[in-house]
Amino acid sequence: MAGGPEPVEIDPRGSFRDAARRSLAVRGPELLVHRDGTLAGEDIEALHQMRVASRRLRAVLEVYAGCFPGRAHLTLLRLVKDTADALSEARDLDVQIDGLRAYAAAAPVEDRAGVESLIAELAARRVAADDHLPPALLRLDKERFSRQVARLVEDGRR
């Protein structure tokens, strides 16, 4: 995924259900590509990429909702939404902190203390957001995320 996400090969003569199955087969596994890096917390880019993958997967699940069995689909969609929420909380703070640090470097001297104070407050919230990430990401294993995706892909063949 270095140059972007893997394209979803969709046969224009195929059914909508087949497009759903193919899209889920590609976008589902992408969610896990950056999970270890996100859990390690050493590179905010891993978190960003995982968040982007969660948004793509959520879009697939919402656009193709009618192609998958109701209960299984809703269970997976809820898991993806909850994961995305935990990722978004941390990522949004990363973006805010980064922007404020850039501003602080160029801000008038009299504004810097206030900006630094806000950065410190956001950094504390970011530490708290880190507490939410491991349980949300480990839940993917606990609830057998990959198995849920595979099952829906298989159900999309019927």
At 36, which CATH number?
Answer: 1.40.20.10
Range of the domain at 92: 16-155
Please check whether residue 2 lies inside any domain of the structure.
Answer: no
Q: Give yes or no for residue 1 having a pLDDT over 60.
A: no
Position 129 in a domain:
yes
Cβ-contact 140, 35 below 8 angstroms: yes
4 in a structural domain: no
Tens-digit pLDDT profile for residues 86-142: 999 999 999 999 999 999 999 999 999 999 999 999 999 999 998 889 999 999 999
- Alpha-carbon Rg for the chain, nearest whole angstrom, is 19
- Distance CA(57)–CA(148), nearest Å, equals 13
Instruction: Tell me what the mean pLDDT of segment 49-65 comes to.
Output: 96
| Alpha-carbon distances, residue 107 vs 48, 64, 101, 156 (angstroms) | 27, 47, 10, 55
Angle at 148 between CA 147 and CA 149, to 5 degrees: 90
Task: Decide if 151 is inside a domain.
Answer: yes
- Model confidence at 41, pLDDT cuts 50, 70, 90, reads confident
Contact status, residue 143 vs residue 35, Cβ threshold 8 Å: no
Question: How many domains are contained in the chain?
Answer: 1
Please state, rounded to an integer, the average pLDDT across all residues of the chain.
92
CA distance 136 to 145: 12
3 belongs to a structural domain: no
What confidence tier does 44 reach under pLDDT thresholds 50, 70, 90? confident
